[in-house]
Amino acid sequence: MLLVGSLPADSPEHALRAGAELFGDMVFALPDGETGAMAGWVSFERERLIRASDDVAVVSETDSPTGLPRHAYETPVFTVKPGVTQVHFPSWPRIDVAIASYAIFAELKAAGVIPAHLRFQVGLPFPASAMNAFKHDFAADYPRAAAGYEELVARELPRLFDAIAPEELAIQWDCAYETQDIEQVLAWTDEGAWERFAGPVTRLTRLIPEQTLVGYHLCYGTFPEWPMYEARDYEVLVRMANFAVRESGRTVDWLHLAGPRYLRSEDRRFFRPLTDLEPGPARVFLGIVLPLDGSPGLRRRHQTASRYLDDFGVAMYCGFGRQPGQDGDQTLREHARVVRSLP
């Protein structure tokens, strides 16, 4: 199985201890749970990265009675200042968090809490996801923001590898807005959606050394609910995955493709495009674990997918830190129980 990233834990140590205890024999890597300020996924980039840039101006703030965005249209909106040809981001706070979490991971590993074979997993948002707040004048602003973000990635990845040995790492590119962009369901974007995904695939993944495992998480988002958009079938995710395997410039070690809602568990039309998947050496994980229907639902979706794909692991549809249920620890235990129920 795969832990996608976000977990219903209250700290990195909590997430790592729970992950090791419940999933240590089923996974190849453990994430830090994306807790605290990271819990809102790319809201972390909006508040800690974009807002801090001198090249960016705020168009509108959070439009919510609670002060916290409840969906994409209540998030802050930014624009690139006049005269700026490429946004400059001084540093990447997400890398600081990863380095701090790895220190906890290393201590727990040295103490025998985390199995010796497990790697530390870091989720990094792809450009269109990280820069989705440039809704004001997307055609003018996004290219300048995305170019700055790619420059940041190229500059900050070496800092990550200096702090953490490459062979200890598993890096996952998180793509949620990219999929919706390609599906043409984001009202603020324009033409060129495929290139907004494909270009970074060819430029960014090759920057990661071969000693580090690399995967792609292809999803439809959970803001405010799963999914933000339910795809017709697996066609788009399969096309994205095949391109990533072919054009990343290095080995792709795993692919995560989010699945359907529970009502389509036996819909062969949804799963049929998996026959076109060409994963090469990549391990495939299908996001077909849904809290709503537990073990019976997972078995239904697993049986349907197995008609079209011979060998795959399973995972939650996405990270589930924002959907912890009544008790996060119980949700994690239930997740482990459901996955272990597969024959």
Positions in the chain whose pLDDT score sits under 70: none
Residue-level pLDDT at 228: 87
User: pLDDT tens for residues 63-119?
Assistant: 777 777 787 778 899 999 999 999 999 999 999 999 999 999 999 999 999 999 999
Measuring CA to CA, how many Å separate 308 from each of 235, 241, 271, 276, 292?
A: 13, 16, 7, 9, 24
Q: How many CB atoms within 10 Å of residue 11?
A: 14
Residue-level pLDDT at 239: 98
Query: What is the DSSP code string of 260-321?
Result: --GGGTT-HHHHGGGGG---TTPEEEEEEE-TTTHHHHHHHHHHHHTTT-SS-EEEESS--T
Residue-level pLDDT at 116: 97
Residue-level pLDDT at 343: 82
Residue-level pLDDT at 284: 98
Task: Look at residue 40 and tell me if it is in a domain.
Answer: yes
Q: How many CB atoms within 10 Å of residue 83?
A: 6
Residue-level pLDDT at 226: 86
List the structure tokens of 107. Answer: 């201590």
Task: Look at residue 34 and tell me if it is in a domain.
Answer: yes
Task: Look at residue 122 and tell me if it is in a domain.
Answer: yes
CA-only gyration radius of the chain, Å: 19
Residue-level pLDDT at 304: 98
Task: Look at residue 137 and tell me if it is in a domain.
Answer: yes
Domain residue limits at 239: 12-340
Instruction: Give the domain CATH number at 34.
Output: 3.20.20.210
Residue-level pLDDT at 294: 94
Residue-level pLDDT at 225: 82
Helical segments of 188-289, H only: 193-204, 235-247, 268-271
Task: Look at residue 33 and tell me if it is in a domain.
Answer: yes
Residue-level pLDDT at 326: 84
Task: Look at residue 1 and tell me if it is in a domain.
Answer: no
The secondary structure element, H or E, covering residue 334 is helix 328-340
Which 3 state secondary structure label does DSSP give 18? Answer: helix
Residue-level pLDDT at 63: 74
Structural domains in the chain (count):
1
User: pLDDT tens for residues 122-137?
Assistant: 999 999 999 999 999 9
CA angle, 257 then 259 then 262, to 5°: 170
Task: Look at residue 6 and tell me if it is in a domain.
Answer: no
Cis peptide, bond prior to residue 227, ω within 30 of zero: yes
Task: Look at residue 173 and tell me if it is in a domain.
Answer: yes
pTM of the entire structure?
A: 0.96
